[in-house]
Amino acid sequence: MKNKKMTRAIALLLVIIMAFSILMMAIDALTAGAYVTQSEIDRLKEEKREYERRKLEIQSRINTIEFERMTEVAKKSVLDDRINITGLEIDNINATIDNYIVLIQEKELEVIAAIAKEKEQLETYKDRVRDMEENGVISYLEIIFDSTSFADLLARIDIVDGIMQADERTYLDLIRAREYTIAAKAELDMAKEEMEVERLLKEKKLEELALQVEQANELIKKIEDDLETESELYAIESAEADRIQNEINKKTEELRAQEAASNAARVRGTGELMWPVPSCSEVSSKFGTRLHPVYNVYRTHWGIDIPGLYGVNVIASDSGTVIISEYSSSYGNYIVINHGDMTTLYAHLSSRSVSVGSSVSKGQVIGYIGSTGVSTGPHLHFEVSVNGVKVDPEKYL
């Protein structure tokens, strides 16, 4: 009998130790910042609804007669807005999926902890049942009938009542532990189902994005297929390139003035540039003046084009300060970083992840490959300026 009780005690102790270890693992995960609240997922879902509303507004604009009367470049700008929103929707879904992955890990820990707790309660309940079987209900009567006085009888009745209440609590603790296990498993299954819904939605949005990009590219190709409209487009691009370079020079001077006034050292680059698209090392269009292959006219390209899959990372070529982060009808979503005497420009991005005034580190993700602005396919247009003059980027990479 003593050996049986000793074995049960050891088993119960092992269950308690296991439960404690699992709970500590869960606590470590939470304190490490992995904890995901449902409110964060709800916030992302509300953000998603706002994107849907904005895209409906853009689509309504596309369906109007006014849109048909716009210039081709103006139409491309509206189509870019739609592409931008779809890209933001995909970013939102990715963030939601990331949250669900962490939430599922947390729920799995909760289920493990709940099962361990249930086993602990079951062992406690089993021990009590065994004791009742061994001693029998008669033990309660013996406690009462062995009383020596009325006062002793009342005291013994209180003892029996306390034992019976303790037995009831043991049973209720087991029931609650079981209910918690069931609830934890249900929450885990629900989180998995909701993540699967987000994954399927992401596939749908990626297909939608591909179609939108194709429509936008067809519009640009339509412009470029006619020499007159292509020349007009080139004139617009050239004027926009000059405007942006003047803006870069102006912002650079403002940054220098701020630095001098505050005596604060700004973030400067090393002068050695890192390749801005880690996933692709190809150059599809080089820097400089070249002959147009169709119209036999000369065109100047002020940067290099690096092709890449839509949405892949674009990184800062060097450390510095973001001086421009905006949309242009020609450059699309573009970013300019000041590195000291040098600036780098990243254009046609699907979306931008840094804002003006931000300090960025060499290799930091600043945006994603896209086809916004005057672009016929996803790529990065990359420019480098030294002391306000555009130079061949490949000489510095």
Which helix (H) or strand (E) segment is 327 a member of?
A: strand 320-328
Compute how many other C-beta atoms are within 10 angstroms of the C-beta atom of residue 98.
14
Asked if residue 273 and residue 177 are part of one domain, the reply reads: no
Distance CA 30, CA 106 (A): 8
Distance CA 73, CA 288 (A): 24
Asked if residue 276 and residue 175 are part of one domain, the reply reads: no
Return the amino acid letter for 101. Answer: I
Phi, psi angle pair for 147, to nearest 5°: -65, 150
Asked if residue 155 and residue 60 are part of one domain, the reply reads: yes
Which helix (H) or strand (E) segment is 202 a member of?
A: helix 150-224
83 CB-near residues (< 8 Å, 6+ apart): 209, 212, 213, 216, 350, 370, 371, 372
Distance CA 339, CA 177 (A): 60
Task: Point out the domain boundary residue: 167, 187, 221.
Answer: 221
Contact indicator for 372, 84 with CB cutoff of 8 Å: yes
Total domains present in the chain: 2
Distance CA 256, CA 205 (A): 43
Asked if residue 236 and residue 162 are part of one domain, the reply reads: no
pLDDT at 295: 60
Task: Point out the domain boundary residue: 189, 221, 253.
Answer: 221
Asked if residue 237 and residue 172 are part of one domain, the reply reads: no
Asked if residue 150 and residue 57 are part of one domain, the reply reads: yes
Contact indicator for 48, 85 with CB cutoff of 8 Å: no
Q: Taking the mean position of all CA atoms in its chain, how far away is CA 369? A: 17
Asked if residue 208 and residue 263 are part of one domain, the reply reads: no
> Residue 250 is part of a domain; what is its CATH number?
2.70.70.10
Task: Point out the domain boundary residue: 221, 256, 286.
Answer: 221
Distance CA 171, CA 178 (A): 11
Task: Domain of residue 358: give its range.
Answer: 227-395
> Residue 130 is part of a domain; what is its CATH number?
1.10.287
Bridge partners of 307? 379
Q: How far is CA 52 from CA 12, 63, 295, 333, 371, in A?
A: 54, 16, 42, 21, 21
Asked if residue 347 and residue 207 are part of one domain, the reply reads: no
Query: Could you read off the pLDDT tens digit of each residue along the chain, which spans 397 residues?
Result: 445 555 554 444 444 444 445 444 444 544 444 456 778 888 999 999 999 999 999 999 999 988 888 887 788 889 988 988 898 898 899 999 999 998 898 888 888 888 888 888 778 767 766 666 566 554 655 665 666 665 655 665 565 556 666 666 777 777 888 888 888 899 899 999 999 999 999 999 989 988 998 888 888 888 777 777 777 778 888 888 999 999 999 999 988 888 877 776 667 788 889 999 999 989 999 998 877 666 667 788 899 999 998 889 999 999 999 999 999 888 999 999 999 999 999 999 988 999 999 999 999 999 999 988 888 788 999 999 999 999 999 999 9
Bridge partners of 382? 304, 346
Q: How far is CA 249 from CA 14, 47, 245, 354, 386, in A?
A: 70, 37, 6, 20, 10
pLDDT at 322: 96
Tokens 């139409």 locate to 75
Asked if residue 273 and residue 162 are part of one domain, the reply reads: no
Q: 109: which 2 tokens?
A: 């820990």
Asked if residue 231 and residue 207 are part of one domain, the reply reads: no
pLDDT at 346: 98
Asked if residue 152 and residue 22 are part of one domain, the reply reads: yes
Asked if residue 188 and residue 60 are part of one domain, the reply reads: yes
pLDDT at 32: 45
Give, in degrees to the nearest 5, the angle at Cα 185 between 181 and 191: 145
Distance CA 158, CA 144 (A): 10
Contact indicator for 316, 366 with CB cutoff of 8 Å: yes
Total residues belonging to the chain: 397
Q: 92: which 2 tokens?
A: 């939102």
> Does the predicted TM-score (pTM) go above 0.85?
no
